[in-house]
Amino acid sequence: MNRLMRAALLTCLIQKLRTHGSWCGETHLQKATYLLQYMMKVPFGFEFILYKHGPFSFDLRDDLTALRADGLIKLEPQRPYGPRLEAAPECAYIQELFSSTILKYENVIEFVSGKLAEKGVADLERLTTAFFVTRGSVDKQCVNARAAELNRIKPHISIESATSAVSEIDRILNEAKALH
């Protein structure tokens, strides 16, 4: 996927997250993009690693910086908190250029936005790390084994919270099957 196609989809994602009531900081965009790429098979082409607060892409961070430089997204300061991302009116041109690409992925963007919009940063970390563990797991059926692995790599996440996150990601995965 080329940079302009990604710009069209990322600005659409920002708009959908905000429509669903998301804070829409970089963490929301990082985690939503991760799920879109690996769960929903949107071919963004970003490389994600497991980082401080779950899956993270430095490539995506670079794209967001470029989108800001191009005037397609803006940061909306929210003192004393961090900034929110907002799609600038100028993104309409790119979205129109790639309207067929947006149409192709709009239902999965809507789905993921709806699932993540109202989650806080800690919830996003648990949920997307649960998906990271599930993707790498040989035994995708065993909730307890995946929860134990999540707790092992993120010890600050209790077994109970890890089990809940793995169960929730399983429910989301089951719902996502209907979209493919």
- Tell whether 89 and 124 lie within a shared domain: no
If pLDDT is split at 50, 70 and 90, which confidence band does 150 have? Answer: very high
**What's the mean per-residue pLDDT of the chain?**
95
Share of the chain above pLDDT 70, in %: 99
- CA dihedral for 180, 24, 166, 35, sign (positive or negative): positive
- Tell whether 99 and 13 lie within a shared domain: yes
pTM, entire model: 0.96
- Tell whether 96 and 23 lie within a shared domain: yes
Last residue of one domain, picked from the residues 118, 137, 169: 118
- Give the pLDDT of residue 46: 98
Q: How far apart are CA 71 and CA 84, in angstroms?
A: 15
pLDDT digits (tens, 9 = 90+) for 61-104: 999 999 999 999 999 988 887 889 999 999 999 999 999 999 99
Domain that holds residue 100: 1-118
